[in-house]
Chain A
Amino acid sequence: MNRTLSPTRTLMRQLLDAVERGRWRLAASILLAAGASGASVALMGLSAWLLSRAAEMPPVLYLQAAAVGVRFFGISRGVLRYIERLVGHDLALRMQAALRLRTYDSLSRTTLLGRRRGDLLTRVVADATAIQDLVVRVVVPFSAASLVIVGTTVMIGRFSPGSAAVLFGSALLAGVLLPWLTQRLSLQMDAAAVPTRGRLADEVHQTSRAAQDLVAFGADRAALTRLLTVDEELRRIEARSSWARGLATAGQIVAAGIAVVAALWIGGHAVAAGELKPRLLAVLVLTPLALHEVFSTFTQSAQTFTRAGSALTRLAAVLDAEPVGRGDVEQVPSDSPGLVLDEVTVGWPGEPEPVLRDFSLSVQPGQRVALVGPSGIGKTTIAATVMGMIPAWSGEVSSTGRIGYLAQDAHLFATTVAENVRVGRRDATDEQISDALGRAGLDFPLDRLVGERGSTVSGGEARRIALARVLVDERDLLILDEPTEHLDHETAHALMTDLWRAVEDRPVLVITHDADVMAQCTQVVRLG
């Protein structure tokens, strides 16, 4: 538990400091939450006192103050809760914004191009939302509940210390110990469930991706059976976990029962012995009932804590990681553009093996050099090195001029075509954008939306938008990374024709294994 706690706690502190008056906001939402819970406990206690006092049939005047109090608590609970939720969510959103900014900042400083990053980027996005859960569902309610427990215990302790002690104990049991135990238990079960869940996701993913092949070769039934076996396993693990959660809820109810019965027992004897005013007995007995209602969501919060804690720990690891390379590529115009690699060893920093050893290459104006090698050797890592985004392990890389890089999987942002092209040149005018699109062979209206990850354009069109991005600004040197990969023959051919026309006689380095592309180059260099 401590392992997950400390990076999370450090991160929380830093984020609170990053938010304008963060600590004040946190204190305010905790106090408001405590006020709201306290109001419902006080409502019950004061009502009990009111009834007991009324049963003694005093003049009505004596009851007026209590009656006003009861109404006050009745209203204040709802009002305080409403304000608390707004203040708490506002704080959580501010902290999330701060966290996202830090995450973005830290990621933008480390070179990502050519890194085998798996699902790092998507996971980071999902993990950053955990801060909201942590603030709204864990930190604020737990701190507020602690205040209410202490407050109630002190109030009760003033007229029945024994009963207050039992109340405090039972509150610790229901509000701290039981949620903590459930968290431990579900931590173990989640640990068992995570790989099973992962396997289920893998099976679904694979079955879906290979659906045609499976069906064509009659292996679909078997795939379905395999999937259901994993499902069955997951079901067993989840059943155990629900068993534990149910037990915790039952424990909380019993703890409330113990507090109530103990109050009745201790208070009853005190009344019989004349040590306690009889009208306080009802207060003693009914207060625990209201107090324990505060804890009912705590087992859930404990599980939220586990999940949010591990998400933030993963994120903290990303934030604390040493940056690799320089992040952004640097663009310096040059009159004599070109690229020379001299005895260069290329590899991702920190990897055990380089991608390429002692490699020399020269690309000058008018030359189109194809770099050919088997898939999966890390050709994008070579591109990142050539662009100066990561250092070479040894040897000298000298590239002069502004580099235009056409990626195989260039990201299309969920905005207009024009904005996507403008990534290549911030201050591009609409005419310049239309011109770049035209040279890339596209006749798109500038305000057309490309959808999430380019979902409303075809693969060939996406590659052309990426090309327009390269063409929209002055480029002295071009690097093309698998320009025809995943395109069909005609599309690939048409794209390359337009591309060669657009680059004119600028030096070009093409990373490819397409024989047609190689044939169009002035020089072919084979790797490995």
Chain B
Amino acid sequence: MLVIGQAWLLSRSVVGVFETRSTDGLWTAGALLLAVFAARGLLAWLQSVLAHRASAAVKSQLRREVMAARLRRPTGDRASASTLVTVVTSGLDDLDGYFSKYLPQLALALVVPFLVGGAILWADWQSALIVAFTLPLIPVFMALVGWTTAKATARRFAVLDRLANHFADLVEGLPTLQAFGRARAQAKGVAITEDANRRETMRVLYVSFLSAFVLELLATLSVAVVAVTVGFRLVFGHVDFTTALFVLILAPDAFLPVRQVGVHYHDSADGVAAADAAFAIIDAAGDEPDGTLPAPNLATSRVRFEGAGFTHPGADRASLEPLDLTLHPGEMVALSGASGAGKTTALRLLMGFEQPTVGRLVVESDEAGALDRGSLDPASWREQLAFVPQLPGLVPGSVADNVRLAAPEAGIDEVEQVLTEVGADFSAHQTVGDDGEGLSAGQLRRVALARALLRLRRGARLLVLDEPTAGLDADSEATVLEAVRATGAGALIVTHRPAALALADRVVELEAVAR
């Protein structure tokens, strides 16, 4: 609306001076024009602030939901961490472009052409006809160009993607190439691939810039046509000067939002892709609600796998074939079996990280009867468990901070005590960096064992211990297993070690999953 007012004021005052050769009324017109420009500036500023607010709210919401989803399914593979970081940080930032540029322009593109077109129609219907004829041509042509080129572009993108990643792959592999004395020789390969990359990219660009070309051409050409026709009609007195100028000033503005939508189209594509990636993570976590029943006391309850098995969604074979197993209170059961038999998966089902896809896992007590593990409140269930994963994940801070995950209120004396018990040769105050940096694999394992030990001291009734990777000493593990014996708690452990197997009451052999 302001744009129309601005055009009207401008054309009036120019014509005023043109016809009267005097500056009467120029003061008021000038002041009004300045006010209009100032108001447009204010609106632009408001739009920027509001658009940011909207996108920030959506970003925060998605961040929270993505991370909550990650924590609902805590067993995702470790490689996914970097993908997740990309999605949550720079990926979601792409939504800024979507909200602050694409959406406002899209809204404008739906409204402004009609408003401005209406204003032109009111002033001069013939010019409006030209605009009305060319404006719809823009989306039509763009769709046509997009439609005919989509296939060619998609085909090229696969090639392009490979070429573009080739450099990254080579650079990351440089240390490996150097060890084989092949790094310098590959420089020629880089030059050749880069050249191919440029050619392929340009081929895609020839086509993808076409739509922008059509857009620009139609928009400017129709302004030119409006200018020329209005000019000639002006000569013959079919239209007055004010109207002619008014139409000329307005005509480009009818096309501007549509052109801007085209310009910001890739912002929209990036933003939509980012949101899709976020939703994919959220959806993958499922939305079945957590259980609410308080978990029965494991000191007096049995835990039973009743044909419980698990298949990853989309996987063609089961990670764990249906398993029948009862854990009695205070019993120590060792799981063994070939790699890939589903030992770790069994522990995950027990922890409640995953739900069995067949069969069920029940907790059976004399008071409450048999309850499905899925119906239990996760917090009250897990506080009775002491968990030692295969590869412990540590939070940055100190060793003590990590041991205290098991019991936040534990004093430093107690932390040092459990660390000593598992044979730690490092201080509780030692700092832990990203990904447990600063600690060796063996030290990480001991922190995890100390944590489990502290948990057992706080009344956990079941140790859930996964086998460590190769090359770690067995002594500290035995300490924890003895502690389990001393407290009378039970245990489900995955192990190959003869020492640990000897300590167990029972060894359950898992059959390898048939390939």
Pairwise interchain contact B231-A514, C-beta atoms closer than 8 A:
no
Residue of B nearest to A213 (CB): B393
Which of the residues A249, A256, A375 comes within 8 Å of B37, measured between beta carbons? A256
Pairwise interchain contact A204-B10, C-beta atoms closer than 8 A:
no
Pairwise interchain contact B172-A211, C-beta atoms closer than 8 A:
no
Pairwise interchain contact A78-B213, C-beta atoms closer than 8 A:
yes
Query: Per-position contact with A for B167-203: 1 when CB-CB < 8 Å, else 0?
Result: 1111111111111111111110011001101100110
- Determine the distance from Cα of A455 to Cα of B180 in the docked complex, in whole angstroms: 22
Pairwise interchain contact B26-A268, C-beta atoms closer than 8 A:
yes
Pairwise interchain contact B227-A47, C-beta atoms closer than 8 A:
yes
Q: Say how far B181's CB is from chain A's closest CB, in angstroms.
A: 4
Q: Say how far B8's CB is from chain A's closest CB, in angstroms.
A: 13
Query: Per-position contact with B for A28-58: 1 when CB-CB < 8 Å, else 0?
Result: 0000000000011001100110111111011
Pairwise interchain contact A278-B393, C-beta atoms closer than 8 A:
no
Task: Tell me the count of chain A residues lying within 8 A, CB to CB, of chain B.
Answer: 155
Pairwise interchain contact A214-B74, C-beta atoms closer than 8 A:
yes
Pairwise interchain contact A214-B71, C-beta atoms closer than 8 A:
yes
Q: A93-B197, A207-B67 are in contact. Are A389 and B178 (CB under 8 A)?
A: yes
Quick check: is B389 within 8 A (CB to CB) of the other chain? yes
Interface residues of B in 439-467 (CB under 8 A from A): 439-443, 448, 451, 455, 467
Q: Say how far A303's CB is from chain B's closest CB, in angstroms.
A: 12
Pairwise interchain contact A104-B165, C-beta atoms closer than 8 A:
no
- Determine the distance from Cα of A125 to Cα of B467 in the docked complex, in whole angstroms: 38
Which chain B positions have C-beta within 8 A of A264? Answer: 10, 13-14, 17, 26, 29-30, 33
Pairwise interchain contact A257-B396, C-beta atoms closer than 8 A:
no
Pairwise interchain contact B26-A265, C-beta atoms closer than 8 A:
yes
Pairwise interchain contact A104-B171, C-beta atoms closer than 8 A:
yes
Which chain A positions have C-beta within 8 A of B46? Answer: 246
Quick check: is A328 within 8 A (CB to CB) of the other chain? yes
Q: A43-B220, A108-B183, A257-B37 are in contact. Are A197 and B190 (CB under 8 A)?
A: no
Quick check: is A503 within 8 A (CB to CB) of the other chain? no
- Determine the distance from Cα of A285 to Cα of B470 in the docked complex, in whole angstroms: 80
Q: A113-B178, A215-B71, A374-B440 are in contact. Are A205 and B451 (CB under 8 A)?
A: no
Q: A108-B183, A215-B74 are in contact. Are A101 and B191 (CB under 8 A)?
A: yes
Residue of B nearest to A52 (CB): B18
Task: Tell me the count of chain B residues lying within 8 A, CB to CB, of chain A.
Answer: 146
Which of the residues A216, A249, A282, A410 comes within 8 Å of B245, measured between beta carbons? A282
Pairwise interchain contact A514-B29, C-beta atoms closer than 8 A:
no
Quick check: is B79 within 8 A (CB to CB) of the other chain? yes
Quick check: is A486 within 8 A (CB to CB) of the other chain? yes
Query: Per-position contact with A for B80-101: 1 when CB-CB < 8 Å, else 0?
Result: 1110110011000000000010
- Determine the distance from Cα of A334 to Cα of B439 in the docked complex, in whole angstroms: 40
Pairwise interchain contact A214-B173, C-beta atoms closer than 8 A:
no
Interface residues of B in 305-356 (CB under 8 A from A): 338-339, 351, 353
**Stretch in contact with the other chain, from B49-57, B139-147, B295-303:** B49-57
- Determine the distance from Cα of A93 to Cα of B21 in the docked complex, in whole angstroms: 56
Quick check: is B423 within 8 A (CB to CB) of the other chain? no
- Determine the distance from Cα of A40 to Cα of B182 in the docked complex, in whole angstroms: 54
Quick check: is A105 within 8 A (CB to CB) of the other chain? yes
**Stretch in contact with the other chain, from B108-116, B204-212, B363-371, B484-492:** B204-212
Q: Say how far A109's CB is from chain B's closest CB, in angstroms.
A: 7
Pairwise interchain contact B88-A414, C-beta atoms closer than 8 A:
no
Residue of A nearest to B198 (CB): A93
Q: Say how far B35's CB is from chain A's closest CB, in angstroms.
A: 9
Which chain A positions have C-beta within 8 A of B154? Answer: none
**Stretch in contact with the other chain, from B117-125, B234-242, B270-278, B411-419:** B234-242
Q: List 17 A-B contacts (CB under 8 A).
A: A43-B220, A58-B235, A104-B187, A107-B174, A125-B167, A213-B387, A223-B71, A249-B41, A258-B37, A264-B14, A264-B26, A271-B17, A281-B14, A331-B181, A374-B440, A491-B470, A513-B442
